[in-house]
Structure 1
């Protein structure tokens, strides 16, 4: 879940960087972390972002399969 959230954030940031470069402002591409930190939503916002990412079908499905296998193995 956390890695998927980071990938999502980075994907959004790459789109912003590409738009800045297309607009003729390549210097904006170097502010990756500082801009994210300025727009950070606080602890609750980060937790909500992680949970939202974790319940996506592509993320939750493998974990459900693993939980069922563990339950079958230990039951």
Structure 2
């Protein structure tokens, strides 16, 4: 693989890694916003039942956000593998060429049901589910106490 291709892959890796990290920060923002909104609805406005709906919506939104991040992570792995194999390969496959993220994604785009399943799968990961499960439990306890 020519040095130019390696340079392109390295540039793509840096860009994707930066994006991957920014998605993590935004996910944390969604979690903090969820906590704030839930606390306001439960403790200030005494609208605990509405907070369940809001927390569920924000939880799924976080799962969707993490799904986008996961796609970037998958491409990062392909780019890293291509960089690792550059000395052994004289001709890279299309999916290993630099700057192919959108093309590869569109070629493998799942159906609407599969996409929804992917969102739910991401939502159930412990690092995504963590604050939402606690918030929902807090609201349910508050509903029974009130």
TM-score interval (norm. to shorter)? 0.7 to 0.9
User: What runs of 5+ residues in structure 1 fail to find an aligned partner?
Assistant: none
C-alpha contact 1:4 1:53 (8 A) present in aligned 2? yes
Residue 31 of structure 1 is matched in structure 2 by 100
1:67 and 1:52 map into 2 onto residues whose CA distance is 19
Cα distance, 1:70 vs structure 2: 3.4
Any runs of at least 4 consecutive aligned residues in structure 1 with deviations exceeding 4 A, and if so which? Answer: none
- Structure of larger gyration radius: 2
Q: Aligned-pair RMSD on alpha carbons?
A: 2.1
2:103 and 2:122 map into 1 onto residues whose CA distance is 23
C-alpha contact 1:20 1:28 (8 A) present in aligned 2? yes
Partner SS, residue 98 of structure 2: helix
Residue 113 of structure 2 is matched in structure 1 by 44
**What is the aligned residue count?**
74
C-alpha contact 1:5 1:50 (8 A) present in aligned 2? yes
Cα distance, 1:35 vs structure 2: 0.3
